Amino acid sequence: MKLRLHAVAASLLALALLFAGFAGAQSYPSKPVRIMVGYVPGGGVDTTARIVAAALTDLWGTQVLVENRPGAAGNIATEVTAVAAPDGYTLVLCNIGTHGVTPARFGKRLTYDPVGDFAFAAKIGGVPNIFMVHPSMPMKTLKQFIAYAKANPGKLNFGSSGVGASPHMSIELLMTITGINIVHVPYKGAAAALADAISGQIESSVGNLAGGPLAAVKSGRVRGLAVTSARRSSQLPDVPTFQEQGVPGYDVTGWYGLCTQSKVPQPIIAKINADMNKLLAGGTPLRKRLEDQAIDVSPASPEEFAAHVKAEIAKWTKVVQDAKLEAK
């Protein structure tokens, strides 16, 4: 009898929580929502977050604010989200760095579970990095750059947004595959790295195409040698891929999405997903703005997005282990 009463009580509690979740989803959001960004303003993650925040603000009629918490390769903003109240009012612009490369490099030393502590509410799309040189450099192609680097080991350098971020790791992967040795110059953010690439303070740089590099390459302030994705970017159709220039199997495609705390009620997750997918549908202003930033828009269900994240962590774990790039 007691067991039956316990079972009935448990069922009633589950129903109460379910109805509470549906009620919460109907009124969500009733106050400002924040999107955490683990990097300084000006890079691809920050730019994408601000574009998405503006679109959600218009749709919801409630302010959606971007909050930058840079540091530790995006870990700080990600941790803030992992321990936030499970109400859907704290999101993070998750990406290949926070939920791909960083878990691979830090493993169990992270203070959160990159899969178990998060709900993967909405996938936005994918975007490549681009490898660039100052126009004064003699190399016109990636093949020429690799040949020069092989003949002059340790004499060339490249800048990136910081140690362990996706752009940095994409060149570490290039060095592992080709055997070249170029010196990494880490910056505190993508904007600073790009500024020094434009001014010629560094010889080459790698950055997310969704940030300033797209405009810099189009204007000729830097020369784009190659994009890291498996196919060319529609925004820079004349810039070939790494694979096209003799780096077999090379594919580093970044991605963006909205993640939140894992215990956020499912009806709220479903609302965020449905609203984002509506905003990302073909022909919408948000989709066009993102595509203009070189983002290949590819919305998905929360389950599909979660599967993508798990596959990315597995992929980058192998890359990190093979290249011995675990965080010290």
pLDDT (tens digit, 9 = 90+) per residue, 9-24?
Answer: 444 544 444 444 555 6
DSSP state of 241: B
Task: Quote the CA–CA distance of 204 and 21 in Å, as a whole number.
Answer: 50
Residues of the chain with CATH 3.40.190.10: 129-245
Residue with tokens 């159709």: 237
pLDDT of 228 over the 90 cut: yes
Residues of the chain with CATH 3.40.190.150: 2-127+254-323
How would you label 272-302 residue by residue, b for 16+ Cβ within 10 Å and e otherwise?
bbebbeebbeeeeebbebbeebbbbbebbeb
Task: Quote the CA–CA distance of 276 and 59 in Å, as a whole number.
Answer: 10
Share of the chain above pLDDT 90, in %: 83
State residue 1's pLDDT score.
Answer: 52
Enter the tokens of residue 122.
């909405």
Q: Each residue of 147-181: pLDDT tens digit? A: 999 999 999 999 999 888 889 999 999 999 999 99
pTM, whole model, 2 decimals? 0.86
Phi (first) and psi of residue 128, to 5 degrees: -85, 165
Fold that domain 2-127+254-323 belongs to in CATH: D-Maltodextrin-Binding Protein; domain 2 (3.40.190)
**Is CATH 2.60.34.10 the right assignment for the domain spanning 129-245?**
no
pLDDT of 83 over the 80 cut: yes
pLDDT of 250 over the 60 cut: yes
State residue 22's pLDDT score.
Answer: 54
State residue 8's pLDDT score.
Answer: 47
Q: Each residue of 38-47: pLDDT tens digit? A: 999 988 999 9
State residue 9's pLDDT score.
Answer: 45
CA distances from 93 to 52, 75, 121, 226, 264 (A): 10, 12, 11, 26, 16
For residues 259-280, average pLDDT: 98
SS3 5: helix
State residue 15's pLDDT score.
Answer: 44
Helix then strand count (H, E) for the chain reads: 11, 10
State residue 316's pLDDT score.
Answer: 92
